[in-house]
C-alpha cells in the first residue's frame, strides 16, 4: 500500500487521477489532495471517503511515496521538494520531459526506462502518448524512418476553460449573439485553429516540437525524422491524429494490421466496407488508442497511412501516469 499525493487535485487531470486510481484498484493507503491556495478547504469524495483539499507547500510531501503532479507551474516549484521528502514524482507537465536525467515513459512503449529514474518520471505530452502507442508495433515490426503527423486536438486539451469556451460559443451562436474568444486566439466553435501553444523555431509551435523531440526520446532514436502540424478542433474530448509512416524495411498492410491487433493498449477499428474507423466519439472516456484507416501510401515504397483517436485526459495524461505508478510497484 502506498501513500499518494495528487498535486492539482481539483483540476480536470487531477479529478481524472481520482477516478483512475479507483478504477484500477491502485493500492492506496493515504490519499493526500493538494492544490493552490484558492482551492483550500474544498472537499472531494473518493472511494466513499470525503477528503479535504490542502494547499501545496514544500512541506506537503512528508510520508508520501508517490506524488502525481497534474501539470502546470506547481511542478517546477514543488517537484524537487517532493523528491527531497522521499516521494517519487510522476509529472504531467512539460518541465522535465526533455531532461536527460528524467525518464519519459509510455508504459506500452518503454517501460524499462522506469528503472533508471532518480526521483522524477515524466509523462509525455498527450498527443505524443497517443502517437507513440500507435507507432510502437510498427517500430518493432519494421523500424521507422520518418513520421508525418497532423493532429486534431479537442478543446479539453486546454483545460476546463477550453471546454467552457466552446460551450459558451455554441450557445451564443444558437441565440444569434456575439461569439467571444479568450482561451483560443480565434473563435473555436465551427472553426479550426492551426496553432497550439506558442510559435518557436522554424515557425513550428511548441506543441509540434514536443511531438518531435519527445517521440525521439521515448523510442531512443534521436535522429528519427518527424514533422508535425497540430490543430485545435471544436471537439470536447479526445484527440485524433493522421499519421504517415515510412518504415525501414518493406512490410505489408496485413502484417502491420496483425501487429496492431496484438499490441497492448490498441483497439483496431478498420472496416471501410462497413464505414468503421476511429473517432473521438468512440474513444472518449476510454484508455485505449484506437487505430484505423490503415492503408498503403502509394507515393513511396515503404509508406503507410493510419488514423488514430485517443482520450487525451485519460491515456494522454492521468491513465498513463497511473500506469507509470503501477510500474514502480
Cα–Cα distance for residue pair 173/132, rounded to 1 Å: 37
| Residue 16 CB neighbour total at 10 angstroms | 20
Q: 220 catalytic, yes or no?
A: no
Q: Which of 54, 58, 117, 126 is catalytic?
A: 126
Give me the helix-helix angle, 319-328 and 12-23, nearest 10°: 50
Question: Residue by residue, what is the 3-state secondary structure of 270-295?
Answer: CEHHHCECCCHHHHCCCCCEEEEEEE
239 is catalytic: yes
Residue 251 to residue 258: CA distance in whole angstroms: 11
Phi, psi of 76 (to 5 degrees): -65, -40
* Angstrom distance (rounded) from CA 316 to CA 212: 16
Catalytic site positions: 126, 239
Amino acid at each position: 500500500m502506498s501513500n499518494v499525493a495528487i498535486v492539482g487535485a481539483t483540476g480536470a487531470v487531477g479529478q481524472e487521477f481520482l477516478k483512475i486510481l479507483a478504477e484500477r484498484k491502485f493500492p492506496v493507503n493515504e490519499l493526500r489532495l493538494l492544490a493552490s491556495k484558492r482551492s483550500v478547504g474544498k472537499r472531494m469524495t473518493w472511494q466513499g471517503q470525503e477528503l479535504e483539499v490542502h494547499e501545496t507547500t514544500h512541506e506537503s510531501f512528508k510520508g508520501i511515496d508517490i506524488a502525481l503532479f497534474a501539470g502546470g507551474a506547481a511542478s517546477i516549484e514543488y517537484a524537487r521538494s517532493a523528491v527531497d521528502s522521499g516521494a517519487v514524482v510522476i509529472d504531467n507537465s512539460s518541465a522535465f520531459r526533455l531532461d536527460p536525467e528524467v525518464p519519459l515513459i509510455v508504459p506500452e512503449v518503454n517501460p524499462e526506462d522506469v528503472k533508471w529514474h532518480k526521483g522524477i518520471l515524466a509523462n509525455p505530452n498527450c498527443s505524443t502518448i497517443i502517437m507513440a502507442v500507435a507507432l510502437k508495433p510498427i517500430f518493432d515490426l519494421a523500424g521507422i524512418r520518418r513520421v508525418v503527423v497532423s493532429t486534431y486536438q479537442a478543446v479539453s486539451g486546454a483545460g476546463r476553460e477550453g471546454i467552457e469556451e466552446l460551450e459558451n460559443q455554441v450557445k451564443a451562436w444558437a441565440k444569434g449573439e456575439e461569439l467571444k474568444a479568450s482561451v483560443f486566439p480565434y473563435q473555436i466553435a465551427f472553426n479550426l485553429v492551426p496553432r497550439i501553444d506558442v510559435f518557436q523555431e522554424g515557425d513550428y509551435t511548441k506543441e509540434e516540437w514536443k511531438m518531435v523531440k519527445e517521440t525521439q526520446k521515448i523510442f531512443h532514436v534521436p535522429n528519427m525524422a518527424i514533422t508535425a502540424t497540430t490543430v485545435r478542433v471544436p471537439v470536447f474530448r479526445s484527440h485524433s491524429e493522421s499519421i504517415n509512416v515510412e518504415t525501414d524495411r518493406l512490410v505489408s498492410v496485413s502484417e502491420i494490421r496483425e501487429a496492431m491487433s496484438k499490441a497492448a493498449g490498441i483497439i483496431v477499428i478498420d472496416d471501410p466496407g462497413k464505414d468503421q474507423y476511429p473517432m473521438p466519439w468512440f474513444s472518449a472516456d476510454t484508455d485505449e488508442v484506437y487505430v484505423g484507416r490503415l492503408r498503403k501510401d502509394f507515393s513511396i515504397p515503404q509508406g503507410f497511412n493510419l488514423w488514430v483517436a485517443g482520450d487525451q485526459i485519460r491515456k494522454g495524461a492521468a491513465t498513463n501516469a497511473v500506469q507509470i505508478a503501477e510500474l514502480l510497484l
